[in-house]
Amino acid sequence: MGEHSREHLSRKDSIWIQTGREGQELDAGSATGKSLGVFTSGGDSQGMNSAVRAVVRMGSFLGCKVYYIKEGYQGMVDGGDHIIEASWASSSGIMQKGGTVIGSARCADFRQREGRLKAAKNLIDKNITNLVVIGGDGSLTGANLFRQEWNSLLDELKATDRITDEQRKSCSSINIVGMVGSIDNDFCGTDMTIGTDSALHRIIESVDSISTTASSHQRAFVLEVMGRHCGYLALVAALATEADWVLIPECPPDKGWEKTLCKKLSAEREMGLRLNIVIIAEGAIDIEGNPITANMVKDLITNELKYDTRVTVLGHVQRGGKPTAFDRILGARMGAEAVLALMDAKPDTPACVVSLDGNQTVRVPLMECVERTKSVQEAMNKKNFQEAVRLRGKSFQNNLATYLRLSKLRPPKVMCDPTGQVCSSGKKLAVMNIGAPACGANAAVRSFVRFALTKGYTVLGIHDSFDGLLYGDVKPIGWTDVHGWTCQGGSLLGTKKCTAARYGLDKVAEKLKEHDISGLLIIGGFEAYHSALQMTEARSKYDAFCIPMVVIPCTISNNVPGTDFSLGADTALNEIADICDRIKQSATGTKRRVFIVEVMGGYCGYLATMAGLAGGADAAYIYEDPFNITNLRDDVIHLKNKIIQLGVQRGLILRNENANANYTTDFIHQMFSEEGKGSFTCRKNVLGHMQQGGVPSPFDRNYGTKMASKAVDYMITKVEENTTEDGKIKSCTKDSAVLLGMCRRQLLFTPLEELREITDFEKRLPKQQWWLSLVRPLLRIMTKHSNETYRADAILTNVDLEDDDNA
């Protein structure tokens, strides 16, 4: 693709992935003279506006003329006022809005050659030879056909004297780059499409709200969600809400599913639960390919179980509302990369789609992805559902596998006491939280408890961290004890910011031995990692530490080594983005105001940087990216220019709480207030512990569930491998004390001893952080700091999508 040449891959089930230029050095104005157009087509999705904004601002940074093409392909065909030049200011204040501010429409005219002739003429009149299309596979396929026909369209326009020879020559080729905007996440070749995360938030909010009324009246609810051809939304929503049953097109239920469903719902009620939730995708089918509707399921439950059952069809509410922090960031990163891909393209460069691979933006061949997406439906039409699931990719497969495991879990009746607690297996696994509370911890505890119980282990809950261990607050956790934990924030086990050494390793070892603990799961932040490392290093002194130990990183700061993402960080980002939206909204009608907002994170600038990108901040000050008084002065000048010359009325500055000991939040507020006199007023906000609260996001619920599932399997394997003849556990190898983290697209267990070397214990930071080189430069470009370079290490790779264990 352009300068980044690639070989062709012949293997059928693989798609070549080309790492994008995100973070590479760029020169401002390097594409002066080029023009590009951006439009949204097909169904709208949250996050499209962020992508449009990024296209405009990256294009402007490079010196391009950027045009909005309003109302999708229809606007391209109609021309005139539907194709207007975009400016930096015109893209301000749109990224937090849902839908698409430039409009989207179905276009029958573009399906005809005459319509495409009109579209080509309108683009040539504006000298637009580069297009960014944001839409689904239909919109992308239409753009590719347009590109293929381009030369013949120009020939016809020239033959009928609708364009000149000079226009024919200057616009001899057109390049296309796509971004997938679809709430269904049904496009093969990307981990997540723009809008999916926001749609999941709408679904989760609805299910959480319905659950309270359902429990009050002991009702069953059947919720229909979107997904005519793809069950991703239904599947992930079921995982995130502890739904009793899910029906999706890719994995239809076996014959006799009606009886199985009723049996399961009845069993839930017998265990004392007061509600049942069934989630169904609108395209759900049975094994014969016959539709299964929400009303069919309702009638089944009502007639067979006599439960009061209601149906809720969520419909277009799933497309509505403002985008989540993830979709804003995704749109921004994809939009910037789309412009870079166009600037790299040559006349013979195939159309590509910018997508997400782990934490990296990549470019994938458009038509290969479209064909693979179509092959999913073809497999379902042939009733080859196993192939359809495989074609959806590893992310879908892993979500489905986790759900199927959870849905089949039952405590073995012969090993249960009346409370539902599995008894007398002889081995005990313990779980505890260490560090500040973060959303997702409870989902991980629930998953760990239920998986361990079904394996015949007793699970001990250690309450309030080491306080509970040392002072006797250690209790068995039963099956129903953790019901409903997935949707709750904070730490229901109780937690405390402390390390094992602070309490005395000898005392901790004594208590672990007293409770005869065979394996320990620690869920928490840097203190959790540090405590586990301290206990690992003391194994030669204390046999009680010679047991399998697994750490699941759970902290809003995202400052634990060995993982790209920590549990809780996604929820915190959404909380910060929401608060910043409200702060900016508070100034509606108040002219020229700049807000200085302090966020948490310790010495880690992840929250400040990502929230800055999601909230459209003008700057984000962090410890890892040193700044001085000159930088602060430059930002004041930037804000003055933005407000006075461009007419943008508000500014936003984020500061990490430990960004600089001298340039405090108060100092920056006072400086900006003084230097901004006559141009803007300034207000300060310290967000504090609001960032740790809230309801867990779908990502954190799902992530915690899958992490704990993987941790149980790993821990039990190590327990069984290291059980001596007398039944004792003796596990001293370095791979028996690990941290489970997500690295790019894989969930990996990394020995704690190896992580020691890449940790800054003084500042409680990993020595390398992926987002610093990829996201920081983009943040500056999006806010028109034109003196910034855009740099990082980028590698051209090809990846077999089936080889990655996508979390």
Is residue 747 classed as helix, strand or coil in its secondary structure?
strand
Residue given tokens 């359902």 in the structure block: 214
CA dihedral 494, 421, 731, 529 (to 10 degrees): -20
400-to-702, 706, 747 alpha-carbon distances in Å:
11, 11, 16
> Distance between CA atoms of 724 and 174, rounded to whole angstroms?
69
The number of angstroms, rounded, from the C-alpha of 694 to the middle of its chain's C-alpha atoms is 17
Is residue 618 classed as helix, strand or coil in its secondary structure?
coil
Instruction: Name the residue type at position 251.
Output: C
Residue 767's contacts (CB-CB under 8 Å, 6 or more residues apart) are 561, 758, 759, 760
184 is catalytic: yes
Local structure of residue 228 (DSSP, 8 states): S
SS3 per-residue string spanning 572-607: HHHHHHHHHHHHHHCCCCCCCEEEEEEECCCCCCHH
Six-digit token string for 131:
């297009």
> Distance between CA atoms of 745 and 707, rounded to whole angstroms?
13
CB 329, CB 613: distance < 8 Å: yes
From 44, 78, 184, 570, active-site residue: 184
Beta strand spans in 657-807 (E): 681-686, 737-743, 746-751, 759-760, 765-766
CB 350, CB 72: distance < 8 Å: no
Please state, as a whole number, how many other Cβ atoms lie within 10 Å of the Cβ of residue 52.
Answer: 27
Six-digit token string for 410:
């039952």
CB 494, CB 433: distance < 8 Å: yes
Residue 398 backbone dihedrals phi, psi, to 5 degrees = -70, -40
Instruction: Name the residue type at position 502.
Output: R
> Distance between CA atoms of 54 and 147, rounded to whole angstroms?
23
Instruction: Name the residue type at position 468.
Output: G
> Distance between CA atoms of 565 and 703, rounded to whole angstroms?
10
Helices (H), 412-461: 441-454
- Please, what is the end-to-end C-alpha distance for the chain in angstroms? 28
Residue given tokens 């590893």 in the structure block: 394
CB 11, CB 800: distance < 8 Å: yes
> Distance between CA atoms of 353 and 427, rounded to whole angstroms?
51
Please state, as a whole number, how many other Cβ atoms lie within 10 Å of the Cβ of residue 584.
Answer: 20
223-to-286, 307, 312, 320 alpha-carbon distances in Å:
17, 16, 5, 17
Residue 246's contacts (CB-CB under 8 Å, 6 or more residues apart) are 231, 234, 235, 237, 238, 278, 279, 280, 281, 403, 407
> Distance between CA atoms of 752 and 755, rounded to whole angstroms?
5
Residue given tokens 């038509």 in the structure block: 367
CB 161, CB 337: distance < 8 Å: no
Residue 377 backbone dihedrals phi, psi, to 5 degrees = -65, -40
What percentage of the chain's residues is helix, strand, coil (to nearest 5)? 45, 15, 40
Tell me which residue of 643, 543, 662 sits closest to 591, measured CA to CA: 643
Six-digit token string for 117:
């002739």
Helices (H), 722-799: 752-756, 770-774, 776-782
Tell me which residue of 663, 101, 575, 591 sits closest to 325, measured CA to CA: 575
**Known catalytic residues?**
184
